[in-house]
Amino acid sequence: MITFLSKIIKLNNLHVIGVIKKDNDESYHVLTVKKKGSKIDIVNTVSFDSFEKIAKNIDLKIPVLLVIDGKGILNKEINFSNENDVTWYKNIDFDSIYYTSLMGTNSNFISFCRKNIVQEITEKFLKKGFQVADIYIGSFLSGLLNTALKKDTITSNDIILQFENGKLSGFSKQTEPVKTADYTIGKETISSNFLPLYGSIVHFFIQPKEVSKTKNETLNTEEIIYKKAFNVFGIAMLAGFLVSLLTSYLLIQYYGSKNAELNLQSVYSNQSYQLILDLEKQKENKQKLLQETGFLSSKFLSFYSYEIIKQIPSDISLTNLNIIPVNQEIKATKKISFDAKTIIIKGETFNESSFNNWMEKLKKMEWLKNFEIISFKKDKKNKSQFEIKITIKDV
């Protein structure tokens, strides 16, 4: 888990601060880099002459590597073929020193100092809020860059490194005044003062086997990694949450509007459906009414009038011809009731035989089902008054 998180943090910017101790003060070189995949880009290089200035001008959110050099730092070549060097190395109390070493062709090149020097500098940075991820000592780590520089000698702070077949073979200390040099790494040009800082970056990201160093147990590197990872994941989760919230809001608005449209359509559909039911009911009532009145017959009412009238003899006169009469008096508050398939004929005549002949002709009508003489009487003038009820066939 730590390895995974450390890969995340190393994708971000990183400050490497070179602390150069002098007699009574310190100077600071700051190299800011950004790692993208396997490529390390230099973001900025800047120098400060006081700790107050560096504390004010450096982004404290970015983790820091400290590279300590100058007064109090000793540089030594340990040739393991030399008995004296081997004896000296065996007698080192690693619990009392802080060191960084680089294995060369036949020797181990080590830079070291007392632990209290490192503790003093580290505490000063930590109190100001710097996130110190690791600490390096001396300038030998510039030797890791010789593969890219391909030079026999390299100036690294106040020492000169010598190489044989690409491996560090020796070093010498510069005499006063110390000279600086510029080197090109890829597309970047970097000063010799910043070269050991770049070398510590290479070790921090790649961890080559030829480098060994003191592991500072007091540095809470895991906390820095988790904090950085939390920031990365936290921002990603927050952004994801906000995107999800915005998406949810937009979807709610979209589906809310669609739901409102569907509800409106449903209301209109219900109203339309109810209207259809009402119309069907009205249709049924009207059809029932027409059925009761006989208006649904295939023959018009005028047909029956014509058939009856054309058969009437000249000596018979009609006083009333009522086709499908009402059964009772029409009132506004009551339903009209018709006597369906019925025709009432009233009239008068002086010739009874003519009336009888007319009755015989009516019987022969195809549409006539039955007829009934309701009344037949004579008045004082010997005129016969009659009323006939005719029943029509279902057609």
Q: Which residues pair with 77 in a beta bridge?
A: 109
Average model confidence (pLDDT) across the chain: 84
Q: Which two tokens stand for residue 285?
A: 């009532």
Which spans in 27-114 are helix H?
51-57, 83-90
Q: CB under 8 Å to 38, separation ≥6 — which residues?
A: none
Q: CB under 8 Å to 222, separation ≥6 — which residues?
A: 2
What digits encode the pLDDT tens for the residues 164-222? Answer: 988 999 999 988 777 888 998 888 888 999 999 999 999 988 889 999 999 887 776 65
What digits encode the pLDDT tens for the residues 66-90? Answer: 999 988 999 999 998 899 999 999 9
**What integer pLDDT is reported at residue 9 of this predicted model?**
46
Q: Which two tokens stand for residue 378?
A: 């004579």
**What integer pLDDT is reported at residue 342 of this predicted model?**
86
Share of the chain above pLDDT 70, in %: 87
Q: Which two tokens stand for residue 388?
A: 């006939």
Q: Which of 221, 205, 182 is nearest to 45 (CA)?
A: 182
**What integer pLDDT is reported at residue 323 of this predicted model?**
82
**What integer pLDDT is reported at residue 67 of this predicted model?**
96
Q: Which two tokens stand for residue 218?
A: 């007091």
Assess whether the previous peptide bond of 325 is cis (omega < 30° from 0).
Answer: no
- Write down the pTM of the prediction: 0.58
Q: In what order do the strands lie in the sheet with 342-349?
A: 316-323, 342-349, 384-392, 368-378
Please check whether residue 172 is in contact with residue 139, taking contact to mean a CB–CB distance below 8 angstroms.
no
What digits encode the pLDDT tens for the residues 292-345? Answer: 665 555 566 788 888 888 888 888 888 898 887 777 676 666 666 667 788 889
